[in-house]
Structure 1
């Protein structure tokens, strides 16, 4: 798995370009437009860092290349920050990550499905009856959580 590149914040004022600069002081990072402060965040606050750098690019105050050079982050990361800002705005950097919902095949549901399989029903019919996807049932069969009844052969 690739290692995340963290931004570099030197203690002295560093220019991103001729108008925009940043400075790390007492564990905080301050951004300046000339002499006027723009924004500040804690040095370990990655969502705020991603937000302000994307905002600087989207508003035309800095280029992606200038941000990448100044902070030592990867180009693709900067592109992702800008895309997120354009699609979801500032809130996109502070949303809680989405978690998967509960599994569809609970213990009770697995028992129901297995009873129907034992009665000889086919997976598409079971899926339709129980309002499930046939692919979900087939995956459970492949994983070994369910098993199909053996078909009887005519001799």
Structure 2
């Protein structure tokens, strides 16, 4: 059992993490469940049960990380911890589009003109040119 402060402690057993107030368990999650860890520690901070520094010391986590997730809880609530991550969009410059862009650039057209004609952003064309893809 690891004390967080005189009232709150944490116990890690059998892949589970249990938070205790005195000797009574108040919350439990899997050891690998990072979202639940961040949520509950942020709730304890928001409720005034623990301080940022106490969480940082007890779990060997940077203080800035603890503050970041406490802020997330204040701004978005519990739902903020379980939002799916944004994924990158599909590749715009397929081999076919690259060939078309290369042909248009070979005709002397600018990156802006190529982008407009192929319905892609001119910056995408410029970045591809700078990276040596076109």
Query: Distance in 1 between the 2:36 and 2:120 partners?
Result: 41
Higher helix proportion: 2
Aligned residues: 134
Q: 1:90 aligns with which of 78, 87, 94?
A: 78
**5 Å matches for 1:77-116?**
77-116=65-104
Unpaired segments of 5 or more residues in structure 1? 1-11, 147-155
Q: TM-score, normalised by structure 2?
A: 0.85
Q: 1:70 offset after TM fit, Å?
A: 1.7
Write out per-residue CA displacement over residues 124-143 of structure 1, whole angstroms, 9 at most, x where no aligned residue. 12222323222211111122
Deviations 1:72-105 (A, max 9, x none): 2211221222122223322332333322111211
C-alpha RMSD over aligned residues: 1.9
Alignment partners' CA distance in 2, 1:131 and 1:26: 55
Aligned mates of 1:92, 1:106 — CA distance in 2: 35
Matched, 1:40 2:28: yes
Whole-angstrom CA distance in 2 between matches of 1:142 and 1:25: 54
Whole-angstrom distance in 1 between the partners of 2:51 and 2:131:
49
* Corresponding residue of 1:7: none
Partner residue, 2:127: 139
* Structure 2 unaligned residues grouped into runs of 5+: none
Runs of 4+ more than 6 Å apart: none
Distance in 1 (CA, whole Å) between partners of 2:50 and 2:93 is 50
Distance apart, 1:48 and its partner CA: 1.6
Structure showing greater radius of gyration is: 1
